[in-house]
Amino acid sequence: MGTEDNSTPIEVKHLSKSFGTQKVLNGIDLSVARGETLAVLGRSGTGKSVLLKLLIGLQKPDAGSIRINGKEIADLDRKQLNEVRKTVGFLFQQAALYDSMTVEQNVEFPLSRHTEMSAEDLKKRARELLASVGMEKDLEKMPSEISGGMQKRVGLARAIALEPGIVLFDEPTAGLDPITGAEIGQLISQLKEKHQMASIVVTHDIHGAKQFSDRVVMLNEGNILVEGTFADLEKSKDKFVVQFLSNAA
């Protein structure tokens, strides 16, 4: 599994998307290398989550190019797109666990659907994944019986079950207290080190982004205002960037 070739795992060029008269993305360019985590910062409703949906083909761009592992998403039929999606893990904002399944069954689900593993191997792999996110003691619990932070951990274990070369995170620390949020941030960093994934983390949590990202982009009104390291962001004289940073301090 993982990436299929040596090309840049995620490459976006001149990407545009509008809903009616609202321009959500205005011809943006960005790329993410293997083993790199890019944080996409910005206010709510600025197109951060739309970007993730475009990357996995849940929405179609109005213009521009999206290449995942060298494949142009817009050129793929449904079957080909589903093959690409298997190489991309996705952590949803609300963890999106299946309510009727135990923690363990939630992690087993993508493995049972997309691999030929035996029942014994499925269980073993799910338990390894849950141990990697500190959830090995809660296998039999239902999602409703664990906290929001724990649900995010289980969602993360499920997102990396198929050993994707790319993982997309939608507001991974939203709704969590600062300590739990920091733990999730630490987990993102550890998993990246271990698996060398290309990751995009959409967030408005500036402290988290500083902790786990290699690079950041700041989105506002469909445009990238700053792209670079956190130090570049802090040096920016752009009015919006300065305001965003001061309000997050």
Taken in order of first residue, the domains within the chain and their CATH numbers are 10-87+167-248 (3.40.50.300), 97-163 (no CATH)
Continuous segment of H or E residues that includes residue 231: helix 230-235
The predicted pLDDT at position 51 comes to: 93
Residues 6+ apart with CB under 8 A from 19: none
Cβ 7 vs Cβ 72: under 8 Å:
no
Task: Return per-residue pLDDT of the chain as tens, 249 residues.
Answer: 443 445 789 999 999 999 988 889 999 999 999 999 999 998 877 788 899 999 999 999 999 999 999 999 988 899 999 889 889 988 877 768 888 999 999 999 988 888 888 989 989 999 999 998 888 889 899 999 998 889 988 998 999 888 899 999 998 888 888 888 888 888 888 888 888 899 999 988 888 888 889 999 999 989 999 999 988 998 999 999 999 888 876
Cβ 146 vs Cβ 95: under 8 Å:
no
Can you name the residues that pair with 11 across neighbouring β-strands? 31, 67
Cα→Cα distances 52→10, 79, 112, Å: 11, 20, 25
Angle between helices 119-132 and 103-114 (to 10 degrees): 120
Token pair in block for residue 34: 């293997």
Distance CA 211, CA 57 (A): 29
Distance CA 45, CA 212 (A): 23
Cα→Cα distances 214→34, 192, 208, Å: 12, 11, 12
The predicted pLDDT at position 40 comes to: 94
Residues 6+ apart with CB under 8 A from 227: 30, 215, 216, 217, 218
Token pair in block for residue 215: 């690079």
Distance CA 107, CA 65 (A): 32
Continuous segment of H or E residues that includes residue 66: strand 63-68
In one letter, which amino acid is 43? R
Distance CA 70, CA 68 (A): 5
The predicted pLDDT at position 62 comes to: 95
C-alpha count within 13 angstroms, C-beta hemisphere, residue 16: 11
Helix spans in 56-205 (H):
78-85, 103-114, 119-132, 148-159, 178-195
Distance CA 104, CA 151 (A): 12
Cβ 135 vs Cβ 153: under 8 Å:
yes
Continuous segment of H or E residues that includes residue 211: helix 206-212
